[in-house]
Amino acid sequence: MKKTTIFRLLITALIFISAAKSQAQYSIGIRGGVNFADFQPGTIFEYDTRIGANVALLFNKPINPILSIQVEPGFSQRGAQYETSGEGPLNGSILSSKETGKFLSNFIELPILLQWKPRIGILEGIVSIGPELRYRVGKMKLKYTSKITYDGEVTKDESGKVNLEGGFGERTFDYGLAGGAGIAYPARSFKIFAEARYHLGLRPLVEELKMHNRGASIHLGVLVPMGN
């Protein structure tokens, strides 16, 4: 699924590039980077960051010399991970337990961003803000390990991966806000840029828990002016 989605995005990019020369001035491009995703606030566990990939096509339309609208259909890996442990006496011996888990989810995402691009010498600043929509592809998965030790002996040691049908895996559509800042280097026929963003999920994963998909991301990309 991941390779197929990325391949389709790249093919779409080539189609738009070949068709764009007859259109009015705008830029198209591609970006790729890393997500640092988690669930916030942590109402069941204190969740840790899950690291995943992101990739997107870019369509940028200037409003004036320093403002533009950028639409970014893409693919993103999100989720979170956790670790719990405990120890205590039981019938004169010590019972200890440890469990780790990682929630895995993949999304087709659509940020629609207003960008402010002030000149900074030969460079160009980037400040982005706007809404983003997400649609989960496939089921959310939980990859886990669980180990219980009693009186120094392991009584349970298992691991696996399960599909989540309800709970965290119930909702496929998500939405929120994205905002970030970065820097770009305009070359003669293209523009290279780097940007960091924060993603503020606004739809609860589960209504009763009020937890959301949130986290930061960083990415590198290139934009190519098209048209006249």
What's the pLDDT tens digit per position in 95-146? Answer: 888 888 898 999 999 999 999 999 999 999 999 999 999 999 998 899 989 8
Residue 217 has pLDDT above 90, yes or no: yes
- Reported as a pLDDT band with limits 50, 70 and 90, residue 23 is very low
* pLDDT band, very low/low/confident/very high, at 52 (cuts 50, 70, 90): very high
All structural domains of the chain, each given as residue ranges with its CATH number in brackets, are 2-80+105-138+173-226 (2.40.160.20)
- The rounded distance, in Å, linking the Cα atoms of 67 and 48 is 36
The reported pTM is 0.81
What are the angstrom distances between the C-alpha of 28 and each of 24, 62, 69, 110, 215?
12, 12, 12, 15, 26
Q: Which of 228, 22, 26, 47 is nearest to 142 (CA)?
A: 47
Is 22 or 121 the better-scoring residue by pLDDT?
121
Q: Which of 16-25, 111-120, 149-158 has the lowest mean pLDDT?
A: 16-25
Residue with tokens 């990739």: 55
Closest C-alpha among 173, 185, 170, 175 to residue 139: 170
pLDDT at 98: 86
Which 8-state DSSP code applies to residue 73? -
Question: Is residue 84 helix, strand or coil?
Answer: strand
Residue type, 50: R
CA angle 145, 210, 200 (to 5 degrees): 90
Which candidate, 197, 206, 228, 187, places its Cα nearest to that of 70? Answer: 197
pLDDT value of residue 9? 55
Number of Cβ within a 10 Å radius of residue 204: 14
